[in-house]
Amino acid sequence: MPTFNPDNVLLQDAKNGEIPTEESTLVLKDVMQSSATMQLAQYEEMTKPKKHFTYLADGPGAYWVGEGERIQTSKATWLDAEMEAKKLGVILPVSKEFLNYSVSDFFQQMRPHIAEAFYTKFDQAALFGNDAPYVAGNSVMERATSAGNTIEHGTNATLYQDLAGLLGLVEDGDNDPNGFTTTRKFKQALRNEVDAQNRPIFNDETSGVPSSLLGEAVGYVNKKSWDYDQAKLLTGDWSFARYGILQGIQYSISEDATLTTIQDELGNPINLFERDMFALRATMHVGFMTLKDDAFAALTPVPTTTA
């Protein structure tokens, strides 16, 4: 039997399977580079649906030792954690003409759309717990709230003082804050802010150098992923956030389904047969977990009041 070659096989002749390795790798690369969570969190390699690992929660101490005295030993605190990969799926309706593309050409065309759908949904779950399949209370925002590490925007005289206070909340737990995440919509507020010496606290991306805020990296979240009611900005010690990706991306194609979660211009479900379209379903498995409550903090919006 000849080897399957995605460059020579039409999509209409290969309606399910795994996205070809090269295209799958590029999609995953796009996801990892565009997800703010994945930019900041620590990657854990996964070869099984559940991964057990240990992490250092409290390091060993040192002791003063007199000449000839025995050096004492102290016990570091290592904790166990288990991260489980959950299936993440996206369905995209597409024109029938794409069935005449080769498998490789089709996924090259659809690559940015598949990646955006994946990283948008993942960030919603990891940052805010929205529609999350993971353990309850595991998102960054939920951890910050549980620890009481929140500051309402405008609490202090300046945004700089609000942000410095956020870093202080993380540091109070003996953590090292090492990054921020927000939306590009919030850049204007950051761009106009200066520190006590009248120096800008925010440096926008220039010449390949990533954006930084108070000397730490900034990851930007797709506006569809951000929950504006919960936070304006998040920060933390991101070594206590872990994610992993299990195996490649699988796909399946349907030409006669009715898509109840996608609506037309009249608000009706999309019937593929009636519209001479087909739908691509792509799935991947991704795990996420946070390891510590007080490692994260959030700048929250002023609550809206109703008359």
Higher pLDDT residue, 225 or 261?
A: 225
If one counts the domains in the chain, the total is: 1
Report if residue 286 sits inside a domain.
Answer: yes
What pLDDT was estimated at residue 70?
61
Report if residue 66 sits inside a domain.
Answer: no
Report if residue 6 sits inside a domain.
Answer: no
Report if residue 180 sits inside a domain.
Answer: yes
What pLDDT was estimated at residue 66?
57
Confidence grade of residue 184 (pLDDT, cut at 50, 70, 90): very high
Q: Which domain holds residue 207?
A: 11-57+77-300
Output the pTM of the full model.
0.85
N- to C-terminal Cα separation, the chain: 72
Q: Tell me the per-residue pLDDT of 118-155, one tens digit each, with 9 for 90 and over.
A: 999 999 999 999 999 998 899 999 999 999 999 999 99
Q: Tell me the per-residue pLDDT of 8-58, one tens digit each, with 9 for 90 and over.
A: 688 888 888 889 888 999 999 999 999 999 999 999 999 999 988 887 666
Report if residue 69 sits inside a domain.
Answer: no
- Domain of 127, CATH number, reads 3.90.1690
What pLDDT was estimated at residue 1?
44
What pLDDT was estimated at residue 85?
95
What pLDDT was estimated at residue 60?
52
Report if residue 64 sits inside a domain.
Answer: no
Report if residue 307 sits inside a domain.
Answer: no
Question: How much is the average pLDDT of 265-294?
Answer: 86
Which residue has 């590490």 as its token pair? 149
